[in-house]
Amino acid sequence: MEIFGLGAPELLIILFLLLLFFGKDKLPELANSIGRSVKELKNGFKDGVDDKDTASKKDGGTKSGK
């Protein structure tokens, strides 16, 4: 199992360090915050793509890169 090129031992070390730095009480709050940030980032990318599609439809599908 590899996530971002990291194997299980590396992920366990990172989890241990996070637990050591933030403590068991703050870890769920930190994970929730990161999850909300990722969701907002995805929504921002989606809105950007939707805006680009809308603009290209208004242009008649032509590229106006110049």
For 2-47, the pLDDT digits (tens) are 667 888 899 899 889 988 988 888 888 988 998 999 999 999 888 8
Q: How far is CA 15 from CA 18, 19, 24, 66, in A?
A: 5, 6, 11, 49
- pTM passes above 0.75: no
Give 53-66 pLDDT, tens digit per residue.
Answer: 676 676 665 555 54
Q: What is the dihedral sign for C-alpha 28, 3, 18, 40?
A: negative
| Contact by Cβ (8 Å): 35, 27 | no
Phi, psi of 3 (to 5 degrees): -125, 120
